[in-house]
Homo-oligomer: A and B are copies of this chain.
Amino acid sequence: MTDVFALPVIDSPNQPEVSPELVDLYKGFEEEYLIPLWTNIGDLMPHEPRAKAIPHLWRWSRLVGLAARSGALVPVGRGGERRAIALANPALGGRPFATPTLWAAIQYLMPSEDAPEHRHTQHAFRFVVEGEGVWTVVNGDPVAMRRGDFLPQAGWNWHAHHNSAREPMAWIDGLDIPFAYYTDTQFFEFGRDRISDEERATPDLSRSERLWAYPGLTPLVSQPSQGTPLLAYRWEHTDRALKEQLMLEQEGYGVTRDRGHAAVRFTNPVTGADVLPTIRCEMHRYRPDAQTVNQQELGSSVVQVFDGSGEVTVGDKSWSVARGDMFVIPSWVPVTIVSTASGSDSESGCLDLFRFSDAPILEAIGAHRVLQQREADK
């Protein structure tokens, strides 16, 4: 209880005069575990959000480099569970939290390695920026992971990973670990130490996709697991959806989010809602030279560059970004994105960004807000 009154007191000019009685009163508060509003209100109830996280960028080359060194030094097994290395926002007190609500990590699996089976109530996904060869086995269903694929993993489903290739593989994990930690709502269970040989199969498509990956077609059986039943969203579909949006824009139809900016959200085919109850996941594509409007969104996000390059400004930080780089957008901090003019460093010729955020939590309680500011308004 030492730093109670050291909190920033910004909007409260109207403080009581210091007197022996006041000092004594404040001492009484401290003894009784009480804190007055009038010394804290500027911090607790600001006129608009003052994000506690800060904008920060992690370079993919560094992430992969350290992950590879971990591959050599740190075994994967029961207890540690995963060779996952989390982004720790520099302003969040040395916790492995990319933002107050979101966990983002690079995970790394050596050839022939297994990550053991477990399940937890935290919602998770994996996204692959490069490589292939790992299968995630979800409730016994092996799901291939390849560049561009998005694999959601709603809470309380059993899952394990195995690398069937001769190369190591890295990908990113996103979870709501900080939110579950903050609200004290986590359950976790160990599964089998080794999955069966049958589950080590390496099919091109999971059973989940064979059953669910058709546009607007819903099987008449009941849903096999908690959360979205579709366990992989393949890059070929995502890429095509983005490409067609930009082509339709060129043909004169208003189907893009902004000029030169295509975007899709990953959704649960059973409900059309966000793919995970707590995490929104989207892929954005920007034509060369496209510039987004200045946008502020309530809640926090993490972005990974999937392809291409560009200039990103988040609040008072600006970075040139390239494939694999990851950055954080804190709540209500303005963002602008400019894609590189040439686009020669990208398969589609565009800048592709994968983004995830805590928007579903805020929407569920009616608190979500987005503010877009046209260039002309600035």
| Chain A positions near chain B (C-beta within 8 angstroms) | 1-4, 11-16, 19, 21-22, 25, 28-29, 32-38, 40-41, 44-53, 56, 58, 62-63, 66, 69-70, 72-75, 77-90, 94-96, 100-101, 105, 120-122, 155, 177, 180-189, 207, 209-221, 224, 228, 230, 233, 237-238, 240-241, 244-245, 247-248, 253-257, 263-273, 275, 277-278, 282, 298-300, 330-332, 358, 360-362, 364-367
Contact = CB atoms under 8 A, between A and B. Distances in A.
A41 to B, nearest CB: 6
Contacts of A83: 36-38
A237 B220 contact: no
A184 to B, nearest CB: 4
A257 B221 contact: yes
A150 to B, nearest CB: 9
A90 B1 contact: yes
A12 to B, nearest CB: 5
A188 B49 CA distance: 9
Given A331-B185, A364-B365, A45 B255 contact: no
A185 B49 contact: yes
Contacts of A214: 215, 237-238, 240-241, 264
Nearest to A212: B215
Contact of A48 (B4, B186, B247, B268): B186
Contacts of A62: 32
A44 B96 contact: yes
A257 B365 CA distance: 27
Contacts of A94: 1-4, 35
A183 B73 contact: no
A184 B4 CA distance: 20
Which of A34, A94, A233 lies at the interface centre, i.e. has the most chain B CB atoms within 10 A of its CB?
Answer: A34
A277 B90 CA distance: 32
Contacts of A181: 44
Contacts of A238: 214, 217
24 contacts: A4-B94, A13-B79, A14-B79, A21-B69, A25-B66, A32-B58, A33-B89, A34-B63, A37-B84, A38-B74, A38-B83, A40-B96, A44-B181, A45-B122, A45-B186, A47-B187, A48-B188, A100-B182, A155-B367, A185-B299, A213-B215, A214-B241, A219-B264, A220-B257
Given A25-B66, A210-B244, A365-B364, A216 B48 contact: no
Given A35-B88, A38-B83, A53-B184, 9 more contacts: A12-B79, A32-B62, A36-B86, A44-B181, A211-B245, A213-B216, A214-B241, A216-B228, A217-B233
A109 to B, nearest CB: 13
B216 A233 contact: yes
A22 B267 CA distance: 41
B37 A248 contact: no
Give me the 7 closest cross-chain CB pairs, A-B, nearest first. Answer: A38-B80, A14-B79, A184-B331, A364-B364, A35-B96, A220-B263, A210-B244
